[in-house]
Amino acid sequence: MLSYTCCNDVSVRDWKLKRGGGQWSRGKTFDTFSPLGPALVTCDEIANPNELNIRTVLNGEAELAKLGIAISDSTVRKYRPNHRRSLSTQTWKAFLHNHAKELVAIDFFTVPTAMCRVLYVFLVVAHERRKVLHFNITDAPSAFWTAQQMVEAFPFTTPPRYLLRDRDAIYGADFVHRVKSLGLEQKLIAPRSRWQNPVAERLIGSLRRECLDHVIVLNEKHLRGILTDYLGYYHCHRPHRFLAQDCPAPRAIELPNQGEIIELPFLGGLHHRYTRQAA
């Protein structure tokens, strides 16, 4: 599958049935029949074609008026398809918003090293405060290893209600069984729909843009140290717009009477925190 386009499936039925011998393609090749286009859209621009909001516009209403034929709006609405979503149906965005306190998301991302190895980083992040509950690194991920990470993410606490993840084959039978035993209800996003797992995707994007794109990773130990330092900065010092410019670990507002502003470097000066220091 390379691309999508629009087609109005209109055929010359009488020719197809009487003279076409049941051959359907010729009935669509007559002039003005089965119009196609006018553009092609690649598959990566449409996450799920089954969820497109398609709207039809009746152009014949104006043409009929020019011919002296009156047609009411109620007649047009009667034959116009109604694609409005039922108000009782909860959208995906509403689900994420309504259950933010009960949601954790997981995902993998890869990091190349200076020795041309590929390391896999696994993340568990809570939706409510964007807090990373657990991360680990491996060069050979498996369903058993991934399932063990879920146990380590909640060693002494009760897991939340929902687990948000994609449909990667790494989440095999061992993973599904272990997650079910923890009491987590899995919510799988649609294929090729990374926007449905927004918190994990944004976190991975921030890790790349603000940290990993600026360093050369030597090995697994080096990467673990970098991620530990960055997540310490991410949790306690980096403001988030979603959290009303606060941090996952709430950060107090420092008033001008508390002293002069100083800067504290993090990750070797890659990032800074600005705070007040009493004289």
Amino acid at site 96: L
What pLDDT does residue 167 have?
A: 94
Angle at 144 between CA 139 and CA 147, to 5 degrees: 100
Q: Is the pTM of this model over 0.75?
A: no
Phi, psi for 20 (deg, rounded to 5): -85, -10
Lowest mean pLDDT among 6-10, 99-103, 195-199: 6-10
**Is 189 in contact with 197 (CB distance < 8 Å)?**
yes
Q: Which residues contact 137 (CB under 8 A, 6 or more apart)?
A: 119, 120, 121, 122, 220, 223, 224, 227
pLDDT for 61 beyond 60: no
CATH 3.30.420.10 residue window(s) in the chain? 97-235
Assign domain 97-235 one CATH number from 3.40.1010.10, 1.20.950.20, 3.40.50.1980, 3.30.420.10.
3.30.420.10
Instruction: Calculate the alpha carbon distances from 255 to 259, 260, 265, 275 in Å.
Output: 8, 10, 21, 10
Q: How confident is the model at residue 245 (pLDDT cuts 50, 70, 90)?
A: confident
